[in-house]
Amino acid sequence: MYGFSVIRSCGVVSLLVARKVRLTFERLQLKLNMRYALWIAQGLLALTFLVAGGSKFVMSVEDMNQGSTIQLSGLFLRFIGTCEVLGGLAMVLPGLLKIKTGLTPLAAAGLVIIMIGATWITIAEGMAFVALIPFTVGILAAFVAYGRW
C-alpha cells in the first residue's frame, strides 16, 4: 500500500513538472515570437522614416508644400526630416550594436509624437482617409515603444 502511494505521488509530481515545462516553453515561444515581431516592426519603421526624412532633405520646400492648404516653413520641415532620419536609425542601430538599447523605445515614442502631428495635419487638410497612413505608422511606433520599454 505504501509503495503504491509513492508511485502515485511521483506520477502527480511528474505531471506537474511536465505542465510547468510546457508553460515555460509556451512563454518562451511567445517571447521569441514577440521579439521577431518587434524586429520586423523596427525594420519597417526604420525604412519608412529614413526614406521620409531623407526626402525632406532632397526635395525643395515648394515641392513639399505643393497642393497643401497648410504651408509649413522650410526650417520646420528640415527639423522634422532630421528627427525622422535619427529616429529611423535609432530603431535598428542600438539593437544591432548592443549599445544604448534604451534609446529605441525613446526614439519610437518621439516618432509617435511626430505621427500624431502628421495625422492631425492630414485630417486638417480634409483627407481623413489618407490620415490612416500616418495613424497606422504611429500605432506601429507605439507598439515598438511599448514592446522595447
Per-residue pLDDT of the chain (149 residues; tens, 9 = 90+): 454 454 455 555 566 566 666 667 677 777 778 889 999 999 999 999 999 999 999 999 989 888 888 899 989 999 999 999 999 999 999 999 999 999 999 999 999 999 999 999 999 999 999 999 999 999 999 999 999 89
How open is the CA angle 105-110-113, to the nearest 5 degrees? 130
Please state whether 73 falls in left (phi above 0), alpha (psi between -120 and 50) or beta: beta
- Whether 22 maps to a domain, the answer reads no
Position 19 scores a pLDDT of 66
CB-based contact 90:107 (threshold 8 Å): yes
* Pairwise CA distance, residues 68 & 61, whole Å: 12
Owner of C-alpha cell 544591432: 96
Position 9 scores a pLDDT of 52
- Whether 46 maps to a domain, the answer reads yes
Give the domain range for residue 39.
28-148
Owner of C-alpha cell 516553453: 25
- Whether 90 maps to a domain, the answer reads yes
Domain count across the chain: 1
For 81, phi and psi rounded to 5 degrees? -60, -40
Position 58 scores a pLDDT of 93
- Whether 56 maps to a domain, the answer reads yes
**What does the block give as the cell for 4?**
503504491
- Whether 125 maps to a domain, the answer reads yes
